[in-house]
Chain A
Amino acid sequence: MTVNDILDILDATAIAGKSGLDNEVLTACGSDMMSDVLAFAKTQCVLLTGLCNPQVIRTAEMMDIVAIIFVRGKTPDETMIKMADEMGLPIVVTSHRMFSSCGLLYEHGLRGGIIDG
């Protein structure tokens, strides 16, 4: 699955980092707690979150997240968009809620990482 596929699946819009839309996605992680993301996100992972602040972009940068999906129509501000554009990090906005967004991606074959303790 690529970020572009996710746009279709979630009726989502890409609003930043469009240079990365062909990035391959292998796993997903859904959380509003950035510490959880820093502890559990796997490689080539997309981050689904309802939290909308610059620390989400920083966390994604630190973890080499493939794309950020803001659920419930959360829209990042100018600062965040600029950060993401500079990193080539796609930001995707969907009006679906967290549970439905995760469910839709799961239905299309995307999985979370394997728990390694």
Chain B
Amino acid sequence: MADLMELNYTVSNEDFTRAGEASSDVKKKLKQLGVSPDAIRKVAIALYEGEINMIIHAYGGKIKVTISENAITLVLADKGPGIADVEKAMQAGYSTAPDKVRSLGFGAGMGLPNMKKNSDQMDIQTEIGVGTTVTMVINI
């Protein structure tokens, strides 16, 4: 299966107002490529929540989006603190986000469950003190 396109982004945690710029760019590119609205919506939601997570829970990171004939693969890698209990983190409503993040409209503990809901496959590799890599596949 040949990869049609690869997109790479560096996500900075310095300016929260710019959070989501990578997701926004990916959404525009998928639209130009004529990907179905249903798949674009799933990618947009999953990627945006993931991008926000790398900013609020880690120190930013890197996003790689691979578009092939049958699927879109999203890889979000950060060098943040890692996730101690992935099973717990996946539960709806579980969040370690500080109040400051909540006052910005995030930190309800809905991100990871929503990322899973919108992807056909999701995998989390994480190590305390080393970082987290979330991989999501959305079939098209």
Contact = CB atoms under 8 A, between A and B. Distances in A.
Contacts of A54: 17-18
A108 B109 CA distance: 34
A64 B106 contact: no
Given A62-B48, A63-B45, A35 B110 contact: yes
A50 to B, nearest CB: 10
Given A34-B105, A36-B110, A79-B17, A58 B41 contact: no
B23 A35 contact: no
B49 interface: yes
Given A35-B114, A38-B114, A54-B17, A61 B27 contact: yes
23 contacts: A32-B105, A34-B106, A35-B49, A35-B105, A35-B110, A38-B45, A38-B49, A38-B114, A39-B110, A39-B113, A53-B17, A53-B104, A53-B105, A55-B17, A55-B104, A55-B106, A58-B20, A59-B20, A59-B48, A61-B24, A62-B20, A62-B45, A63-B44
